[in-house]
């Protein structure tokens, strides 16, 4: 078993508020990542979809904020029997910055979410789904300790697409006090 890693994170995981949910709906990812843009808040409310449904928001979603409380990302801890499936998003202006600056923002972000998922249920396997063309995300997930275990077609907001299921096989992640 790999030794646990201790993470000093610039962020913290907090309950996702309605205000933060509305903010998520304004985030605009550039092509080809625009598939990750949420519908308008009004549309989300009309459909009571995802984090617009207060029960789902409270049970599955969290925000990720910095020291000043500014929303940096979100995570969904989707429950499956014996598995916690992560759905996640980093603020669009922060995406891809780790490669150029070598700061590893994406890696730190994902490690924080792993630590939170392990804290919530240490017995659960942790997995996620990623579109097969999203090589930037796949590389980040692999650097953190995820392994591709399956590839299949899934219905997305823009139609059917190929996704990889990736399972976390890395060490426990502990947040530094």
Beta strand pairing call for 61-65 and 71-80:
antiparallel
Burial of 21 (0-12, 13-18, 19+ CB in 10 A): buried
Task: In whole angstroms, give the CA distance from residue 118 to residue 137.
Answer: 21
Q: Please list the pLDDT of the chain residue by residue as tens digits (177 residues).
A: 567 788 888 899 999 999 999 999 999 999 999 999 999 999 999 999 999 999 999 999 999 999 999 999 999 999 999 999 999 999 999 987 765 444 588 899 999 999 999 999 989 999 999 999 999 999 999 999 999 999 999 998 889 999 999 999 998 888 877
Task: Report pLDDT for 103.
Answer: 59
């Amino acid at each position: 078993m790999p030794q646990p890693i201790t993470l000093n994170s610039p962020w913290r995981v907090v309950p996702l508020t309605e205000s933060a949910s509305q903010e998520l709906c304004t985030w605009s990812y550039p092509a080809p990542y625009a598939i990750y843009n949420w519908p308008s808040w009004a549309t989300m409310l009309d459909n009571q979809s995802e984090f617009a449904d207060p029960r789902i928001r409270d049970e599955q979603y969290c925000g990720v904020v910095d020291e000043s409380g500014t929303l940096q990302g979100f995570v969904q801890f989707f429950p499956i029997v014996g598995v916690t499936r992560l759905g996640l998003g980093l603020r669009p202006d922060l995406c891809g910055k780790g490669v150029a600056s070598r700061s590893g923002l994406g890696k730190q972000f994902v490690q924080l979410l792993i630590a939170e998922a392990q804290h919530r249920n240490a017995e659960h396997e942790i997995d996620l789904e990623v579109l097969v063309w999203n090589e930037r995300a796949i590389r980040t997930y692999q650097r953190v300790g995820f392994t591709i275990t399956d590839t299949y077609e899934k219905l997305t907001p823009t139609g059917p697409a190929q996704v990889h299921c990736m399972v976390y096989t890395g060490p426990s992640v502990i947040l530094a006090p």
